[in-house]
Amino acid sequence: MDSNGVDEQMKLVEGAGGYVLEDVPHLSDYILDLPTYPNPLQSNAAYSVVRQYFVDEDDTVPQKIVVHKDSPRGTHFRRAGPRQKVCFKSADVRACIVTCGGLCPGLNTVIREIVCGLHFMYGVKEVTGVNCGFRGFYSRNTVTLTPKSVSDIHKRGGTMLGTSRGGHDTLKIVDNIEDREINQVYIIGGDGTQKGASAIYKEIRRRGLKVAVAGIPKTIDNDIPVIDKSFGFDTAVEEAQRAINAAHVEATSVENGIGLVKLMGRYSGFIAMYATLASRDVDCCLIPESPFYLEGKGGLYEFIAKRLTENGHMVIVVAEGAGQDLLAESIDQQDASGNKLLKDVGLWMSLKIKEHFAKESKMDITLKYIDPTYMIRAIPANASDNVYSTLLAQSAVHGAMAGYTGFTAGLVNGRQTYIPFNRITERQNKVVITDRMWARMLSSTNQPSFMNPPKGTTSVTE
C-alpha cells in the first residue's frame, strides 16, 4: 500500500529469461470484479481482419533493448491494442475527455480519434467533453461529442475543448465523475496533467469506483520520459524551420547580420536540436542541458565574431530554458500550475550581443530576434503527427475498454504500449549531451562545445 491507501501499481512476476514488471493493473484485478464480454470488434464485419490482431494479455514491450546476456529483461510495458474480451458493454460506457496544460499540435486529432474510436470500433454513443481543463469538471458546462461534431477538428490548431493551468482539485473532480456516472476518463496533457491524472486514478481506486482512467501524453518539448517521442513534436520542428528560414534571410540581407530564434524547450532542448539539424542554416544551438558562456576564449562572443568574419552572417537558435542562470535578476514567480516562470533568454541575449559589439565599436552588427513560440503551438498537426495522434487515441480506447486503468498510452521502442502514470511522471526526458545526437548536432554547426570556460567566467548550468 502507498500513502494514498492504494496498492502499488507494479508487482514482479517471473518471466522467461529474467523478470517482467507487471506495470499496468487490470481493473478486474484491482478495483472490481467486472464481468467480461467478447470484444465487439470480433463480430464487426468491417473489422474481421482485426481478429488475428487481438493483443495477448501477456504481450509486452521492453523499455530498452538489453544486450547483455546475463542482464534481466528490464522493464516491460503491456503492449497496447484490442483484447479478445472487454470489460464494458458498449451501451454502458459513459466516457469523458479533458485537455490540460499548454497548446500542442495534434490535441484536436486525439480528441477526434477517441470519439470516433469509441463510436465506430466499440459502438459507444455517450462521450462528453470537459471544457477548460481540470477545473472544467466542477466549474464549467460539458459538451456532447459525436463523430459529426468532431469530424474536421483535426484541421484546426488548439483544442476544441479549451484548456487551463491550475485548478486541479482531486476530490471535486472525482465527485463530479461519480455524480455524472462516468466510467471512462481520457486525460490529455503534459507532465503536470499526468500527475493530476494519477491523483484522480488513486482517488477513484480509493473509492472503489468502476472507472477506467487513461492518459495521453502531450508535450511539444518532448520532455516526457519512456516514450519514443510525443505528438506535436514533429510538427513543431517542421514549423520552426519557417522561423529559422526567416532569420537566415534577415541575416544574409545585411552586413554582419545575426538572426536569433527562440524555440520551445523549458528543460529539454529537443526542438532546438532537431530544428537545427533539419535546417543546416543554424550556426549555433543553445539548449538548457548544455552549459555555455559569453565572454572569453571559446565563449559565444568569440564564436559570433569568428563566424561573422568568415561568413558575414549567422543564425543562432536558443531554447527557452537555456542560459537561465546567466540572466541577471531572477523572477521568483510561478504559473497557476506551479511551474517556474522563465525569463526571456532570447530578448536578453539579443541585448547582450548588441551591447557587446557596440562596445568600443568592435563590429557593426544587425541583429533580428524572432520568437515563433505561439505561432508554432497553435498550428494543426502535420501528417506524421496526425497518424501518431490517431494511434495513441485508439490505443487508449482499446485499453480502457479492456478494463485497464491508471495508464498512459505511448510509443515505446516503436510499439504502442500502456505505461503506468508513475513511470512517466517520475523524471523528465532530456537531451544527453554526451550522446551521439548532440555530437552530430555539434559537428553539423561546428560550434564550440563551451566545455572549458575560462577561470572566473560564469557558465550556464541547467
C-alpha cell belonging to residue 384: 506524421
Does position 166 interact with ligand ATP (CB under 6 A)? The reply is yes
Number of residues that bind Mg ion (CB under 5 A): 3
Does position 157 interact with ligand ATP (CB under 6 A)? The reply is no
Strands 11-15 and 18-22: antiparallel
Closest separation between CB of residue 377 and ligand ATP, Å? 9
Binding-site member from 102, 106, 217, 265 for ligand ATP (CB under 6 A): 102
Does position 288 interact with ligand ATP (CB under 6 A)? The reply is no
**Which position's Cβ is nearest Mg ion?**
190
C-alpha to C-alpha distance for 174 and 190, rounded to whole angstroms: 20
Does position 298 interact with ligand ATP (CB under 6 A)? The reply is no
* The amino acid at 219: T
Full DSSP string of 230-298: -BTHHHHHHHHHHHHHHHHHHHHTSTTEEEEEEE--SS--HHHHHHHHHHS--SEEE-TTS---SSSTT
C-alpha to C-alpha distance for 417 and 61, rounded to whole angstroms: 7
Does position 430 interact with ligand ATP (CB under 6 A)? The reply is no
160 is in an annotated binding site: no
Partner from Mg ion, ligand ATP, none binding residue 76, C-beta < 5-8 Å depending on class: none
Binding-site member from 192, 217, 225, 257 for ligand ATP (CB under 6 A): 192
Closest separation between CB of residue 370 and Mg ion, Å? 24
C-alpha to C-alpha distance for 407 and 218, rounded to whole angstroms: 14
Does position 129 interact with Mg ion (CB under 5 A)? The reply is no
Does position 339 interact with ligand ATP (CB under 6 A)? The reply is yes
Binding-site member from 190, 257, 269, 323 for ligand ATP (CB under 6 A): 190
- Residue 201 or 292 with smaller CB distance to ligand ATP: 201
Give which of 41, 168, 3, 4 is closest to 117, Cα–Cα: 41
Closest separation between CB of residue 156 and Mg ion, Å? 23
Give which of 306, 318, 411, 433 is closest to 372, Cα–Cα: 318
Partner from ligand ATP, Mg ion, none binding residue 201, C-beta < 5-8 Å depending on class: none
Closest separation between CB of residue 424 and ligand ATP, Å? 11
207 is in an annotated binding site: no
- Residue 233 or 357 with smaller CB distance to ligand ATP: 233
Which position has the grid cell 473509492? 207
Buried b or exposed e, range 92-104, using 16+ CB within 10 angstroms: ebbbbbbbbbbbb
Is-contact 292 461, C-beta < 8 A? no
Does position 176 interact with ligand ATP (CB under 6 A)? The reply is no
- Helices and strands (H and E) in the chain: how many: 14, 17
Does position 428 interact with ligand ATP (CB under 6 A)? The reply is no
430 Cβ partners below 8 Å, 6+ apart? 223, 267, 268, 269, 288, 289
C-alpha cell belonging to residue 63: 523499455
- Residue 193 or 459 with smaller CB distance to ligand ATP: 193
- Residue 101 or 403 with smaller CB distance to Mg ion: 101
**Contacts with ligand ATP in 116-135 (CB under 6 A)?**
133-134
Out of 56, 179, 221, 435, the active site residue is 221
- Residue 117 or 192 with smaller CB distance to Mg ion: 192
Binding-site member from 23, 113, 126, 191 for ligand ATP (CB under 6 A): 191
Closest separation between CB of residue 319 and Mg ion, Å? 15
Site string (174-213) toward Mg ion, x via CB under 5 A: ----------------xxx---------------------
Total Cβ atoms within 10 A of residue 301? 16
Closest separation between CB of residue 426 and Mg ion, Å? 14
Closest separation between CB of residue 191 and ligand ATP, Å? 4
CA 125-127-132 angle, to 5 degrees, is 165
Check the CA dihedral 103-104-105-106 and report its sign: negative
320 is in an annotated binding site: yes
C-alpha to C-alpha distance for 136 and 138, rounded to whole angstroms: 5
Check the CA dihedral 376-410-423-114 and report its sign: positive
Q: 364 an active-site residue? A: no
Which position has the grid cell 459507444? 124
Binding site for ligand ATP (CB under 6 A): 100-102, 133-134, 165-168, 189-193, 195-196, 199, 219, 337, 339
Active-site residue numbers? Answer: 221
Binding site for Mg ion (CB under 5 A): 190-192
User: Which residues define the annotated binding site for ATP?
Assistant: 102, 165-166, 190-193
